[in-house]
Protein backbone atom coordinates (compact mmCIF):
# COMPACT_ATOMS: atom_id res chain seq x y z
CA UNK A 1 0.00 0.00 0.00
CA UNK A 2 1.30 3.48 -0.94
CA UNK A 3 1.58 5.26 2.40
CA UNK A 4 4.82 7.32 2.30
CA UNK A 5 5.30 10.96 1.30
CA UNK A 6 8.84 11.62 0.10
CA UNK A 7 9.81 15.25 0.78
CA UNK A 8 12.66 16.66 -1.33
CA UNK A 9 13.90 19.94 0.08
CA UNK A 10 17.29 21.54 0.63
CA UNK A 11 19.04 24.89 0.89
CA UNK A 12 18.63 27.60 3.47
CA UNK A 13 16.07 27.87 6.23
CA UNK A 14 13.82 30.07 4.14
CA UNK A 15 13.29 27.28 1.61
CA UNK A 16 13.21 24.49 4.20
CA UNK A 17 11.21 25.51 7.29
CA UNK A 18 7.76 25.36 5.69
CA UNK A 19 8.20 21.61 5.15
CA UNK A 20 8.48 20.68 8.84
CA UNK A 21 4.97 21.60 10.02
CA UNK A 22 3.57 20.19 6.79
CA UNK A 23 5.35 16.88 7.41
CA UNK A 24 3.85 16.73 10.89
CA UNK A 25 0.38 17.57 9.57
CA UNK A 26 0.54 14.89 6.88
CA UNK A 27 1.09 12.28 9.58
CA UNK A 28 -1.25 13.60 12.27
CA UNK A 29 -4.05 14.24 9.73
CA UNK A 30 -3.66 10.68 8.38
CA UNK A 31 -2.84 11.83 4.85
CA UNK A 32 0.10 9.38 4.90
CA UNK A 33 1.55 7.00 7.47
CA UNK A 34 5.13 8.18 7.09
CA UNK A 35 7.12 11.15 5.76
CA UNK A 36 10.60 10.49 4.42
CA UNK A 37 13.02 13.38 3.83
CA UNK A 38 15.58 13.56 1.05
CA UNK A 39 17.64 16.63 1.80
CA UNK A 40 21.14 18.10 1.78
CA UNK A 41 23.83 17.19 4.28
CA UNK A 42 23.63 20.69 5.75
CA UNK A 43 19.85 20.51 6.24
CA UNK A 44 19.68 17.09 7.90
CA UNK A 45 20.25 18.38 11.48
CA UNK A 46 17.11 20.53 11.12
CA UNK A 47 14.95 17.40 11.24
CA UNK A 48 15.31 17.10 15.01
CA UNK A 49 13.20 18.72 17.67
CA UNK A 50 9.72 17.48 18.37
CA UNK A 51 8.73 15.94 15.04
CA UNK A 52 6.64 12.74 15.13
CA UNK A 53 8.65 9.49 14.90
CA UNK A 54 6.98 8.83 11.55
CA UNK A 55 9.03 11.70 10.05
CA UNK A 56 12.44 10.27 9.14
CA UNK A 57 15.51 10.88 7.00
CA UNK A 58 15.42 8.80 3.83
CA UNK A 59 18.44 9.87 1.81
CA UNK A 60 20.91 12.62 1.04
CA UNK A 61 20.81 14.98 -1.92
CA UNK A 62 24.50 15.72 -1.34
CA UNK A 63 26.18 18.87 -0.09
CA UNK A 64 24.69 22.32 -0.57
CA UNK A 65 28.03 24.05 0.04
CA UNK A 66 28.74 24.92 -3.60
CA UNK A 67 25.27 26.38 -4.06
CA UNK A 68 25.63 28.32 -0.82
CA UNK A 69 28.69 30.07 -2.25
CA UNK A 70 26.54 31.16 -5.17
CA UNK A 71 23.77 32.29 -2.82
CA UNK A 72 26.25 34.30 -0.73
CA UNK A 73 27.37 36.26 -3.81
CA UNK A 74 23.74 36.80 -4.80
CA UNK A 75 22.80 37.97 -1.31
CA UNK A 76 25.64 40.43 -0.93
CA UNK A 77 25.06 42.04 -4.32
CA UNK A 78 21.27 42.18 -4.07
CA UNK A 79 21.60 43.72 -0.60
CA UNK A 80 23.76 46.54 -1.92
CA UNK A 81 20.85 48.96 -2.32
CA UNK A 82 17.74 49.94 -0.39
CA UNK A 83 15.24 48.73 -2.99
CA UNK A 84 14.71 45.61 -5.07
CA UNK A 85 15.45 47.63 -8.21
CA UNK A 86 18.83 48.82 -6.88
CA UNK A 87 19.81 45.30 -5.91
CA UNK A 88 18.72 44.04 -9.31
CA UNK A 89 20.98 46.49 -11.10
CA UNK A 90 23.96 45.40 -9.01
CA UNK A 91 23.24 41.76 -9.84
CA UNK A 92 22.90 42.34 -13.57
CA UNK A 93 26.14 44.31 -13.65
CA UNK A 94 28.37 42.27 -11.35
CA UNK A 95 26.96 38.79 -10.58
CA UNK A 96 28.73 36.85 -13.33
CA UNK A 97 32.05 38.59 -12.67
CA UNK A 98 31.84 38.05 -8.90
CA UNK A 99 31.03 34.34 -9.30
CA UNK A 100 34.18 33.99 -11.38
CA UNK A 101 36.36 36.30 -9.26
CA UNK A 102 35.54 34.49 -6.01
CA UNK A 103 36.24 31.09 -7.50
CA UNK A 104 32.67 29.78 -7.19
CA UNK A 105 32.88 28.51 -10.78
CA UNK A 106 34.62 29.49 -14.03
CA UNK A 107 31.33 30.83 -15.42
CA UNK A 108 27.90 31.77 -14.09
CA UNK A 109 26.33 29.08 -16.26
CA UNK A 110 28.51 26.40 -14.69
CA UNK A 111 27.75 27.70 -11.19
CA UNK A 112 24.02 27.53 -11.85
CA UNK A 113 24.30 24.02 -13.28
CA UNK A 114 25.75 22.81 -9.98
CA UNK A 115 22.51 23.61 -8.15
CA UNK A 116 21.17 20.29 -9.51
CA UNK A 117 22.52 17.24 -7.62
CA UNK A 118 24.70 14.69 -9.43
CA UNK A 119 23.13 11.89 -11.44
CA UNK A 120 23.87 9.24 -8.80
CA UNK A 121 21.70 11.16 -6.31
CA UNK A 122 18.85 11.35 -8.81
CA UNK A 123 19.24 7.64 -9.58
CA UNK A 124 19.09 6.78 -5.87
CA UNK A 125 15.91 8.80 -5.47
CA UNK A 126 14.41 7.15 -8.56
CA UNK A 127 15.17 3.71 -7.09
CA UNK A 128 13.37 4.71 -3.88
CA UNK A 129 10.36 6.17 -5.67
CA UNK A 130 9.81 2.96 -7.63
CA UNK A 131 9.05 1.12 -4.39
CA UNK A 132 5.36 0.46 -3.92
CA UNK A 133 4.97 2.24 -0.58
CA UNK A 134 5.59 5.75 -2.03
CA UNK A 135 2.36 7.71 -2.45
CA UNK A 136 3.66 11.15 -3.47
CA UNK A 137 6.71 13.38 -3.86
CA UNK A 138 6.51 16.78 -2.16
CA UNK A 139 9.29 19.12 -3.28
CA UNK A 140 10.48 22.73 -2.94
CA UNK A 141 10.31 24.50 -6.27
CA UNK A 142 13.33 26.82 -6.44
CA UNK A 143 16.15 24.41 -5.58
CA UNK A 144 14.54 20.99 -6.03
CA UNK A 145 12.47 21.28 -9.21
CA UNK A 146 14.61 18.45 -10.63
CA UNK A 147 12.62 16.09 -8.37
CA UNK A 148 9.57 16.48 -10.61
CA UNK A 149 11.27 14.71 -13.53
CA UNK A 150 12.46 11.92 -11.24
CA UNK A 151 8.92 11.45 -9.93
CA UNK A 152 7.57 11.31 -13.48
CA UNK A 153 10.06 8.56 -14.37
CA UNK A 154 8.83 6.58 -11.37
CA UNK A 155 5.17 7.26 -12.26
CA UNK A 156 4.60 8.81 -8.82
CA UNK A 157 2.45 11.95 -8.41
CA UNK A 158 4.23 15.06 -7.20
CA UNK A 159 3.41 18.52 -5.89
CA UNK A 160 5.63 21.61 -5.73
CA UNK A 161 5.53 24.17 -2.93
CA UNK A 162 7.16 27.57 -3.44
CA UNK A 163 8.16 29.70 -0.41
CA UNK A 164 9.31 32.58 -2.65
CA UNK A 165 6.71 34.92 -4.14
CA UNK A 166 9.29 37.18 -5.77
CA UNK A 167 8.38 36.44 -9.39
CA UNK A 168 4.75 37.40 -8.74
CA UNK A 169 5.71 40.52 -6.80
CA UNK A 170 7.95 41.71 -9.62
CA UNK A 171 5.39 40.91 -12.32
CA UNK A 172 2.68 42.82 -10.43
CA UNK A 173 5.04 45.77 -9.97
CA UNK A 174 5.87 45.83 -13.69
CA UNK A 175 9.53 44.88 -13.18
CA UNK A 176 11.28 43.22 -16.15
CA UNK A 177 12.57 39.68 -15.53
CA UNK A 178 16.24 39.37 -14.64
CA UNK A 179 18.33 37.54 -17.17
CA UNK A 180 20.21 35.13 -14.89
CA UNK A 181 17.09 34.23 -12.91
CA UNK A 182 15.47 32.76 -16.01
CA UNK A 183 17.59 29.70 -15.11
CA UNK A 184 15.67 29.13 -11.89
CA UNK A 185 12.28 27.48 -12.16
CA UNK A 186 10.29 29.78 -9.87
CA UNK A 187 6.94 28.39 -10.92
CA UNK A 188 5.05 25.72 -12.82
CA UNK A 189 1.46 24.73 -13.52
CA UNK A 190 -0.26 23.65 -10.33
CA UNK A 191 2.50 24.91 -8.04
CA UNK A 192 1.43 26.01 -4.54
CA UNK A 193 2.74 29.18 -2.87
CA UNK A 194 3.16 29.25 0.90
CA UNK A 195 2.90 33.03 1.47
CA UNK A 196 0.14 34.39 3.73
CA UNK A 197 -2.58 36.34 1.94
CA UNK A 198 -1.91 39.45 4.05
CA UNK A 199 1.54 39.66 2.41
CA UNK A 200 0.23 39.03 -1.12
CA UNK A 201 -2.07 42.08 -0.96
CA UNK A 202 -1.44 43.67 -4.37
CA UNK A 203 0.04 40.67 -6.16
CA UNK A 204 -2.67 38.13 -7.05
CA UNK A 205 -1.83 34.47 -7.53
CA UNK A 206 -1.25 33.76 -11.26
CA UNK A 207 -3.71 31.59 -13.14
CA UNK A 208 -2.86 27.91 -12.95
CA UNK A 209 -1.06 28.27 -9.63
CA UNK A 210 -2.38 28.22 -6.08
CA UNK A 211 -1.66 29.54 -2.60
CA UNK A 212 -2.37 28.08 0.83
CA UNK A 213 -1.05 30.74 3.19
CA UNK A 214 1.48 30.34 5.98
CA UNK A 215 2.50 26.78 6.82
CA UNK A 216 3.16 26.96 10.56
CA UNK A 217 3.40 24.58 13.53
CA UNK A 218 0.05 23.66 15.01
CA UNK A 219 -0.76 25.31 18.33
CA UNK A 220 -0.20 22.07 20.23
CA UNK A 221 3.31 21.85 18.75
CA UNK A 222 4.08 25.41 19.80
CA UNK A 223 2.76 24.75 23.30
CA UNK A 224 5.00 21.69 23.53
CA UNK A 225 7.99 23.77 22.41
CA UNK A 226 7.30 26.31 25.15
CA UNK A 227 7.24 23.51 27.76
CA UNK A 228 10.18 21.61 26.32
CA UNK A 229 13.16 20.78 28.48
CA UNK A 230 15.26 21.61 25.41
CA UNK A 231 14.51 25.28 25.99
CA UNK A 232 17.45 27.43 27.06
CA UNK A 233 16.56 27.72 30.75
CA UNK A 234 18.87 30.69 31.32
CA UNK A 235 17.22 32.55 28.45
CA UNK A 236 13.76 31.57 29.68
CA UNK A 237 14.57 32.94 33.14
CA UNK A 238 15.74 36.20 31.53
CA UNK A 239 12.54 36.45 29.47
CA UNK A 240 10.43 35.85 32.58
CA UNK A 241 12.00 38.74 34.50
CA UNK A 242 9.90 41.79 35.27
CA UNK A 243 11.13 44.82 33.40
CA UNK A 244 11.02 46.62 30.06
CA UNK A 245 9.52 44.85 27.03
CA UNK A 246 11.71 42.54 24.98
CA UNK A 247 12.54 43.35 21.37
CA UNK A 248 13.54 40.14 19.63
CA UNK A 249 15.97 40.67 16.73
CA UNK A 250 16.86 38.22 13.97
CA UNK A 251 18.09 39.17 10.52
CA UNK A 252 17.91 35.74 8.91
CA UNK A 253 20.32 33.05 7.83
CA UNK A 254 21.70 35.15 4.95
CA UNK A 255 22.49 38.30 6.93
CA UNK A 256 26.10 39.11 6.08
CA UNK A 257 27.92 41.25 8.63
CA UNK A 258 29.77 43.06 5.88
CA UNK A 259 26.46 44.22 4.39
CA UNK A 260 25.56 46.21 7.51
CA UNK A 261 28.94 46.65 9.16
CA UNK A 262 29.68 46.67 12.89
CA UNK A 263 28.70 50.33 13.26
CA UNK A 264 25.18 49.57 12.08
CA UNK A 265 24.74 46.72 14.55
CA UNK A 266 25.91 49.07 17.31
CA UNK A 267 23.38 51.69 16.21
CA UNK A 268 20.59 49.10 16.25
CA UNK A 269 21.32 48.01 19.83
CA UNK A 270 21.84 51.59 21.07
CA UNK A 271 18.58 52.68 19.50
CA UNK A 272 16.69 49.82 21.12
CA UNK A 273 18.16 50.36 24.59
CA UNK A 274 17.18 54.05 24.44
CA UNK A 275 13.46 53.17 24.20
CA UNK A 276 14.03 51.62 26.85
CA UNK A 277 13.67 47.90 26.28
CA UNK A 278 15.51 44.62 26.62
CA UNK A 279 17.28 43.29 23.52
CA UNK A 280 17.42 39.65 22.43
CA UNK A 281 19.54 39.68 19.26
CA UNK A 282 20.40 36.40 17.50
CA UNK A 283 23.86 36.67 15.95
CA UNK A 284 25.86 33.93 14.29
CA UNK A 285 29.39 33.36 15.52
CA UNK A 286 30.79 35.13 12.45
CA UNK A 287 28.46 38.11 12.83
CA UNK A 288 29.27 38.40 16.53
CA UNK A 289 33.01 38.39 15.89
CA UNK A 290 32.56 41.05 13.22
CA UNK A 291 30.38 43.20 15.49
CA UNK A 292 32.78 42.90 18.43
CA UNK A 293 35.42 44.60 16.26
CA UNK A 294 33.57 47.80 17.21
CA UNK A 295 34.61 48.54 20.85
CA UNK A 296 31.29 50.32 21.47
CA UNK A 297 29.34 47.21 20.48
CA UNK A 298 31.51 45.06 22.73
CA UNK A 299 30.55 47.31 25.68
CA UNK A 300 26.83 47.07 24.88
CA UNK A 301 27.06 43.28 24.56
CA UNK A 302 27.79 42.78 28.26
CA UNK A 303 24.81 44.81 29.54
CA UNK A 304 22.19 42.91 31.53
CA UNK A 305 19.47 44.12 29.18
CA UNK A 306 21.20 42.54 26.17
CA UNK A 307 21.31 38.87 25.16
CA UNK A 308 23.21 37.75 22.03
CA UNK A 309 22.70 33.99 21.51
CA UNK A 310 23.72 32.20 18.32
CA UNK A 311 20.35 30.42 18.11
CA UNK A 312 16.95 30.42 19.81
CA UNK A 313 13.67 28.58 19.32
CA UNK A 314 12.16 31.49 17.39
CA UNK A 315 8.45 30.53 17.50
CA UNK A 316 8.71 30.00 21.26
CA UNK A 317 10.46 33.36 21.81
CA UNK A 318 7.90 35.20 19.68
CA UNK A 319 5.08 33.55 21.63
CA UNK A 320 6.55 34.54 25.02
CA UNK A 321 4.50 37.17 26.86
CA UNK A 322 7.54 39.43 27.36
CA UNK A 323 8.24 39.74 23.63
CA UNK A 324 6.56 42.90 22.34
CA UNK A 325 8.27 43.57 19.01
CA UNK A 326 10.27 41.79 16.31
CA UNK A 327 13.19 43.36 14.41
CA UNK A 328 13.24 41.33 11.20
CA UNK A 329 14.75 41.15 7.72
CA UNK A 330 11.19 40.31 6.62
CA UNK A 331 11.76 36.84 5.26
CA UNK A 332 8.41 35.12 4.83
CA UNK A 333 8.93 32.34 7.41
CA UNK A 334 9.95 34.78 10.14
CA UNK A 335 7.05 37.12 9.40
CA UNK A 336 4.58 34.24 9.46
CA UNK A 337 5.85 33.18 12.90
CA UNK A 338 5.67 36.75 14.23
CA UNK A 339 2.21 37.47 12.83
CA UNK A 340 0.92 34.18 14.26
CA UNK A 341 1.78 35.67 17.67
CA UNK A 342 0.41 39.15 16.89
CA UNK A 343 3.80 40.92 17.06
CA UNK A 344 4.46 44.27 15.33
CA UNK A 345 7.52 44.37 13.07
CA UNK A 346 10.50 46.70 12.85
CA UNK A 347 11.48 46.01 9.24
CA UNK A 348 15.05 45.96 7.94
CA UNK A 349 14.77 44.19 4.55
CA UNK A 350 17.89 43.26 2.60
CA UNK A 351 16.84 41.83 -0.77
CA UNK A 352 14.22 40.27 -3.05
CA UNK A 353 10.77 39.56 -1.59
CA UNK A 354 11.76 41.04 1.77
CA UNK A 355 11.14 44.56 0.40
CA UNK A 356 7.63 43.63 -0.78
CA UNK A 357 6.79 41.81 2.46
CA UNK A 358 7.88 44.84 4.48
CA UNK A 359 5.82 47.21 2.33
CA UNK A 360 2.67 45.11 2.84
CA UNK A 361 3.05 45.22 6.63
CA UNK A 362 3.80 48.96 6.69
CA UNK A 363 0.61 49.49 4.69
CA UNK A 364 -1.30 47.31 7.16
CA UNK A 365 -0.14 49.50 10.06
CA UNK A 366 1.79 46.89 12.04
CA UNK A 367 5.32 47.67 10.80
CA UNK A 368 7.76 50.49 10.17
CA UNK A 369 10.81 50.23 7.96
CA UNK A 370 14.25 51.61 8.74
CA UNK A 371 16.99 52.21 6.18
CA UNK A 372 20.08 50.05 6.35
CA UNK A 373 22.53 52.67 5.03
CA UNK A 374 23.18 54.06 7.46
CA UNK A 375 21.30 52.62 10.41
CA UNK A 376 20.72 55.51 12.81
CA UNK A 377 20.08 54.92 16.51
CA UNK A 378 17.61 57.82 16.78
CA UNK A 379 15.56 56.47 13.88
CA UNK A 380 15.44 53.06 15.55
CA UNK A 381 14.30 54.55 18.88
CA UNK A 382 11.54 56.62 17.28
CA UNK A 383 10.25 53.69 15.22
CA UNK A 384 10.17 51.30 18.18
CA UNK A 385 8.24 53.77 20.34
CA UNK A 386 5.58 54.03 17.62
CA UNK A 387 5.41 50.26 17.19
CA UNK A 388 4.90 49.70 20.91
CA UNK A 389 1.71 51.78 20.69
CA UNK A 390 -1.75 50.19 20.98
CA UNK A 391 -2.52 50.99 17.31
CA UNK A 392 0.39 48.92 15.98
CA UNK A 393 -0.49 46.08 18.33
CA UNK A 394 -4.12 46.08 17.18
CA UNK A 395 -3.03 46.06 13.53
CA UNK A 396 -0.75 43.08 14.18
CA UNK A 397 -3.51 41.23 16.01
CA UNK A 398 -5.87 41.80 13.06
CA UNK A 399 -3.38 40.11 10.74
CA UNK A 400 -2.93 37.37 13.33
CA UNK A 401 -6.65 36.60 13.11
CA UNK A 402 -6.49 36.52 9.29
CA UNK A 403 -3.47 34.22 9.28
CA UNK A 404 -4.95 31.80 11.82
CA UNK A 405 -8.26 31.68 9.93
CA UNK A 406 -6.42 30.95 6.68
CA UNK A 407 -4.78 27.85 8.25
CA UNK A 408 -2.19 27.31 5.56
CA UNK A 409 -0.98 24.10 7.20
CA UNK A 410 -4.38 22.46 6.87
CA UNK A 411 -4.81 23.71 3.30
CA UNK A 412 -1.36 22.41 2.31
CA UNK A 413 -2.15 18.98 3.75
CA UNK A 414 -5.40 18.96 1.76
CA UNK A 415 -3.50 19.74 -1.43
CA UNK A 416 -1.19 16.79 -0.84
CA UNK A 417 -4.16 14.51 -0.19
CA UNK A 418 -5.82 15.82 -3.35
CA UNK A 419 -2.79 15.06 -5.52
CA UNK A 420 -2.48 11.57 -4.04
CA UNK A 421 -6.12 10.94 -4.94
CA UNK A 422 -6.30 12.70 -8.32
CA UNK A 423 -2.73 12.88 -9.60
CA UNK A 424 -2.45 16.63 -10.19
CA UNK A 425 -2.75 20.02 -8.49
CA UNK A 426 -4.67 21.85 -11.21
CA UNK A 427 -8.10 21.70 -9.57
CA UNK A 428 -9.10 23.15 -6.23
CA UNK A 429 -9.49 20.32 -3.68
CA UNK A 430 -11.94 22.45 -1.72
CA UNK A 431 -14.39 22.72 -4.61
CA UNK A 432 -17.58 20.70 -4.05
Per-residue pLDDT, 323: 97
- Split into its structural domains, the chain has a count of 3
Q: Are residues 250 and 175 in the same domain?
A: no
Q: Are residues 55 and 136 in the same domain?
A: yes
Does 371 reside within a domain? Answer: yes
Does 431 reside within a domain? Answer: no
Q: Are residues 56 and 40 in the same domain?
A: yes
Domain end position, chosen among 43, 77, 112: 112
Q: Are residues 250 and 369 in the same domain?
A: yes
Closest residue by Cα to residue 264 from 185, 167, 379: 379
Query: 7, exposed or middle or buried, with CB in 10 Å at 0-12, 13-18, 19+?
Result: buried
Which residues have CB under 8 Å from 102's CB, separation 6+?
Answer: 69, 73
Q: Are residues 205 and 277 in the same domain?
A: no
| Contact of 64 with 13, CB cutoff 8 Å | no
Does 429 reside within a domain? Answer: no
Q: Are residues 171 and 303 in the same domain?
A: no
Q: Are residues 418 and 400 in the same domain?
A: no
Does 222 reside within a domain? Answer: no
How far, in Å, CA of 273 to CA of 45, rounded? 35
Per-residue pLDDT, 228: 55
Q: Which domain holds residue 31?
A: 4-65+113-216+406-422
Per-residue pLDDT, 430: 56
Per-residue pLDDT, 253: 67
Output the pTM of the full model: 0.92
Per-residue pLDDT, 183: 47
Does 347 reside within a domain? Answer: yes
Q: Are residues 85 and 119 in the same domain?
A: no
Which pLDDT tens digit goes with each residue over 248-277? 999 876 665 667 766 888 999 999 999 999
3-state secondary structure 266-304: HHHHHHHHCCCCEEEECCCHHHHHHHCCCHHHHHHCCCC
Quick one: CA dihedral 331, 207, 427, 11, positive or negative? negative
Per-residue pLDDT, 432: 39
Closest residue by Cα to residue 193 from 175, 224, 215, 173: 215
Q: Are residues 80 and 185 in the same domain?
A: no
Domain end position, chosen among 49, 83, 112: 112
Q: Are residues 348 and 418 in the same domain?
A: no
Report mean pLDDT in 10-residue bins for the chain, 432 residues: 90 88 96 96 83 90 86 87 89 89 82 84 97 97 93 96 92 76 56 96 90 87 55 86 94 69 85 95 82 83 89 91 96 95 96 95 97 88 97 97 96 96 70 45
Q: Are residues 410 and 396 in the same domain?
A: no
* CATH code, domain with 146: 3.40.50.2000
Which pLDDT tens digit goes with each residue over 102-120? 888 887 778 777 788 999 9
Q: Are residues 249 and 304 in the same domain?
A: yes
Amino acid sequence: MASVAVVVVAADRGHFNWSLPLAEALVTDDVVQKVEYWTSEESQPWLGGGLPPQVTLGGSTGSFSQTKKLVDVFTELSSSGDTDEEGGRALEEHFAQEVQRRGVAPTLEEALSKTTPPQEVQDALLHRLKMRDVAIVVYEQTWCSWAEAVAQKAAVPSIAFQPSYIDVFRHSAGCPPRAFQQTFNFGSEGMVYTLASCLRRHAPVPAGRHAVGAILPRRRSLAAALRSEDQDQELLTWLNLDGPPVVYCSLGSHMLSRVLGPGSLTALVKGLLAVPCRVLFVLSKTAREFADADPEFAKLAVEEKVKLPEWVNQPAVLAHHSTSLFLSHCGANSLHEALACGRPILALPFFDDQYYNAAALVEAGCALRIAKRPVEAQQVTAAVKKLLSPDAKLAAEKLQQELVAEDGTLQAAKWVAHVIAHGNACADPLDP
